[in-house]
Amino acid sequence: MAISDSTREQLQQLAARYPRPRSALMPMLHLMQSLEGEVTPDGIAACADVVGVSAAEATAVASFYTMYKRQPVGEHHIGVCVNTGCGLLGGDAVYEALCERLGVGHNAATEDGKFWLERIECQAACTHAPVMTVDWEYMDDVTPAAAVDVVDRLARGEEVRSTRGPVIRGFQATERSLVFPDDGLASEGTPVDAKMLAGLTVAKERGMSAPGIPAAGQEG
């Protein structure tokens, strides 16, 4: 895909945010992914050109981080946590159910380009294990049946709302929010719930508090 003048202008705007332009490389790659559904060689070269690094250096970044895909992701990215906590509580079963439903395995897109399935080592939401994400939005305490139902609803074009965030918009739309987070969706949903605050609630009920920080010279 040819890189448009508008896209190059946005890349330059991102570079201008940072004291060192190369610091903008990661959001730039997300921008390219939001436009193309993947990170292409042309996209990598454009990012490298704007920040003043070689294409090889930019490729090293794009190939190191698993959120950057070198093949078209499709309309929706489905991520299933299979790390220890989620795995023990059913994450592996969720993943297997989705493999059967979608007919694909790890890091692969369905034939119709509708879904991309990925095993993920941690989604940083252990309180609600097992966890799945759709376009990086959380689906908490998911079961195999619930996971398949989400995919079925998306396949039918129905509205699906994440557990603690906005309505699912699609992979490329979420990628753009990673670049330009002021998307007006921060107030959507309930990002923190009672389950996440359980420890703090118990501590308050029991009058517990963390130890104070010792004054300088009083350590030990």
Give the whole-angstrom CA distance, residue 143 versus residue 165: 19
pLDDT score for 166: 94
Give the whole-angstrom CA distance, residue 135 versus residue 160: 11
pLDDT score for 56: 97
Beta carbons of 76 and 115 less than 8 angstroms apart: yes
Distance in angstroms between the alpha carbons of the first and the last residue of the chain: 61
pLDDT values of the chain reduced to their tens digit, one per residue, 220 residues: 678 999 999 999 999 999 999 999 999 999 999 999 999 999 999 999 999 999 999 999 999 999 999 999 999 999 999 999 999 999 999 999 999 999 999 999 999 999 999 999 999 999 999 999 999 999 999 999 999 999 999 999 999 999 989 999 999 999 999 999 989 888 888 888 888 899 999 999 999 988 888 877 665 5
pLDDT score for 187: 87
Tokens found for residue 165 = 């965030």
Using alpha carbons only, how large is the chain's radius of gyration in Å? 21
Q: Which residues face 76 on adjacent strands? A: 115
In one-letter notation, the amino acid at residue 211 is P
Q: Which residues of 182-198 are buried (b: 16+ CB within 10 A; e: fewer)?
A: eeebeeebeeeeeeeee
Q: What structural domains and CATH numbers belong to the chain?
A: 5-64 (1.10.10.1590), 76-179 (3.40.30.10)
pLDDT score for 218: 64
